[in-house]
Structure 1
Amino acid sequence: MNTLTTDKLIRYSKVILMAYISFFGLLVMFQNFTDYQANYNYVAHVLSMDTTNASKNVMYRSIESPMIHHRIYWFILTMEVTYTVLCLIGAYQLYRHVDASAEAFHEAKKYSIMGILVAIFIYYVCLQTVGVEWFNMDTSQSWNAKDWSRHIVDFVFPVMIYITLKVER
């Protein structure tokens, strides 16, 4: 009889956490592709800084070109697809190796780690760092995703730490 050990539960928990992140990515992709205009408007307002309390000294940072707005939005969409696909593959690889040796299971974490790194790039680097620090997104009352992106990073980053830890035997 195959019993559930703590070691196996730890392995399954890593698979499940990657499935959660993948599910979130699928929902974000669905939203962005099915309501392109609403999410494009968000990106356009952040980039043009038209709803911020930015002083005239920093308004040179604003980007007013709709063509560039679309390109940056498509870059974000591409990164969201990339992290979601990598996380889905990562969850599948972890699941496939859940009964494998500790070494094989640890090696199966590659796609999960890559996917989480891309997610951190989107939600920390792009939104929290560039959006807040460069485009003053946090001063906008209507187009501000600082807290939303922070909540995502607050979940994804600890998962990255947990996934990468080699505690399996």
Structure 2
Amino acid sequence: MYALTTRDLIRASKLLITLATGLFGILVGIDYLAGLPKVFSLIRQDLLLSVLAEEYPIAYWVTRLTWVPPSAYALVTAAHLLFGALCLVGARQMVRHLDSGASAFHDSKRLSVLGLLIGLLVVGLVLGVNASPWLFQIVARPVSSLGISLRMFDVILVGLVFVSLKNDD
């Protein structure tokens, strides 16, 4: 019979955190891809409203640089897909090294840590942008996404710190 050790539980926890955040990144990226045509049409409609430029000063510049909002949306979508893919590939490498020594397992976490770092940056960026009221007008995202972004930022930050720590076996 196999006895479950603390080392096994810690490694399994790191693997599950990486898998969960990787799936989150992929699902959000797919959701953003599915909403792309709708968002681009909303951006075009909102940029035509002169009220927007009067109500939100930053929208004046956005109306002059019409390529910025769609480009930013596409970049955020790609970043979510990238961070999700890196986490999933990193989790696969972690699975291969579950029974390896401490050094080999720690080295197998590189892509996971990189994916979590990109995820932290992109979710932090989305969190900062969601806090800007003018973006609600431009991309028509619901206000409740601010709370979701804040929670995911916390989860990814804690996951990044936990996964990146080296455990001595």
TM-score (norm 2): 0.78
5 Å-filtered alignment, 1:120-159, equals: 120-124=120-124, 126-132=125-131, 136-137=134-135, 143=141, 144=143, 145-159=145-159
Distance apart, 1:111 and its partner CA: 0.6
AA partner of residue 131 (structure 2) = V
Paired position in structure 2 for 1:69: 69
Count of residues in Structure 1 that have an aligned counterpart in Structure 2: 162
Between the aligned residues of both structures, percent identity stands at: 23
Distance apart, 1:146 and its partner CA: 2.4
> CA separation in 1, counterparts of 2:137 and 2:40?
19
Mark the CA change 1:10 to 1:56 in structure 2 (over 3 Å): closer, same or farther. Answer: closer
Contact kept, 8 Å, 2:59 with 2:134, in 1: the verdict is: no
Distance apart, 1:161 and its partner CA: 0.9
Contact kept, 8 Å, 1:138 with 1:146, in 2: the verdict is: no
> CA separation in 2, counterparts of 1:88 and 1:56?
40
Paired position in structure 2 for 1:101: 101
TM-score (norm 1): 0.78
RMSD of the TM alignment (CA)? 3.0
AA partner of residue 100 (structure 1) = S
Higher helix share: 2
Contact kept, 8 Å, 1:90 with 1:110, in 2: the verdict is: yes
Paired position in structure 2 for 1:83: 83
Mark the CA change 1:150 to 1:41 in structure 2 (over 3 Å): closer, same or farther. Answer: farther
Contact kept, 8 Å, 1:83 with 1:115, in 2: the verdict is: yes
